[in-house]
C-alpha cells in the first residue's frame, strides 16, 4: 500500500505480521541482541522490507546499519526510509540520482494518546485540523499529523544532518486529495541556487493504518556529501 503514495522511481516493499525467518543479516543481529521480542520483530521486518525494496532496483542484499540518530545507512547511490508499527513494516528505496530524500511513516489508525497532540503540534496546526476526528471512513487527523511530521523528519535529518523538532514545521492537510504541505519554520536547506523551505507529501488511511510519505525529487541542486563513513543516507527513525 505504501507504494501508492510514492513516485514510480521509488521501489517499496511491505509486510504484515512477522517477517520471514532469517530476516536479519549477521551484522545486524547484535543490534537487537538484548532487545525485547517486539523490538526485534519490528527491526527485522523493516530490514527485510528494505532489502526487498533494494532488490527492486537491482541492488544486492547488504546490512542496513543505523547512523548516529538511528537513521538507516544505505549503500552509496541509494536513499531510503523504513517504518514499522505493530503488525506492519515497510521500506522505500530510490536512486539518489532521481530522489534526493525519502520519508515514510505508518501508524495505527487510532487517536493519539491524551496529551500527545499538544506536544507535537503547534496551536495553529491543531486549530486547522478538521473539527471531527472521525468521519466515514474514519480519519484520525491527530494521528495523521503526527505521522506526517515523522515522515518530514525522516526526509530532513539524513539529508541535512540538522535536527528538526516537532514545532519546527507547520503542516496543513488537503482532506480531499490526500496531500499535505510542510512549511519549515527554521532556516531551509540550500540546494544549488535554491533553498528547500518545505515538503510536499501524501497520506492515506486504510487497512487500519495511517500512512504518510515524502519524496524530494533530485535535480534541485547538488546533494550534500554524507557524513564520513555514512552512505547516501535518508529515512531516519526516532
**pLDDT tens column, 141-189:** 999 999 999 999 999 999 999 999 999 999 999 988 999 999 999 999 9
Longest dimension (CA), the chain: 49
Query: Listing from the earlier edge strand, what are the strands of the sheet with 99-108?
Result: 99-108, 209-217, 198-206, 179-184, 169-174
The pLDDT mean for the chain works out to 88
Q: Which residue has the cell 532556516?
A: 187
Query: Listing from the earlier edge strand, what are the strands of the sheet with 88-95?
Result: 11-16, 88-95, 78-85
pTM of the model: 0.88
pLDDT, tens digit, 9 for 90 and up, residues 54-80 = 999 999 999 999 998 889 999 999 999
Q: Is the pLDDT of residue 114 over 50?
A: yes
Amino acid at each position: 500500500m505504501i507504494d501508492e503514495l510514492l513516485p514510480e522511481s521509488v521501489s517499496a516493499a511491505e509486510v504484515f505480521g512477522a517477517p520471514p525467518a532469517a530476516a536479519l543479516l549477521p551484522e545486524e543481529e547484535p543490534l537487537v541482541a538484548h532487545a525485547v521480542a517486539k523490538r526485534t520483530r519490528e527491526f527485522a521486518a523493516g530490514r527485510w522490507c528494505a532489502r526487498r525494496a533494494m532488490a527492486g532496483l537491482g541492488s544486492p542484499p547488504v546490512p542496513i546499519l543505523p547512523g548516529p540518530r538511528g537513521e538507516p545507512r544505505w549503500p552509496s547511490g541509494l536513499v531510503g526510509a523504513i517504518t514499522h508499527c505493530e503488525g506492519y513494516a515497510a521500506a522505500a528505496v530510490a536512486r539518489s540520482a532521481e530522489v534526493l530524500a525519502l520519508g515514510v511513516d505508518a501508524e495505527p489508525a487510532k487517536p493519539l494518546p491524551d496529551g500527545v497532540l499538544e506536544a507535537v503540534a503547534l496551536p495553529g496546526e491543531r486549530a486547522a485540523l478538521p473539527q471531527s476526528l472521525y468521519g466515514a471512513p474514519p480519519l484520525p487527523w491527530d494521528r495523521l499529523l503526527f505521522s506526517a511530521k515523522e515522515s518530514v523528519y525522516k526526509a530532513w535529518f539524513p539529508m541535512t544532518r540538522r535536527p528538526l523538532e516537532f514545532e519546527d514545521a507547520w503542516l496543513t492537510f488537503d482532506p480531499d486529495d490526500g496531500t499535505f504541505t510542510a512549511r519549515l519554520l527554521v532556516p531551509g536547506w540550500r540546494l544549488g541556487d535554491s533553498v528547500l523551505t518545505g515538503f510536499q507529501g501524501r497520506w492515506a488511511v486504510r487497512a487500519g493504518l495511517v500512512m504518510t510519505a515524502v519524496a524530494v525529487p533530485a535535480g534541485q541542486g547538488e546533494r550534500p556529501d554524507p557524513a564520513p563513513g555514512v552512505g547516501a543516507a535518508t529515512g531516519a527513525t526516532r
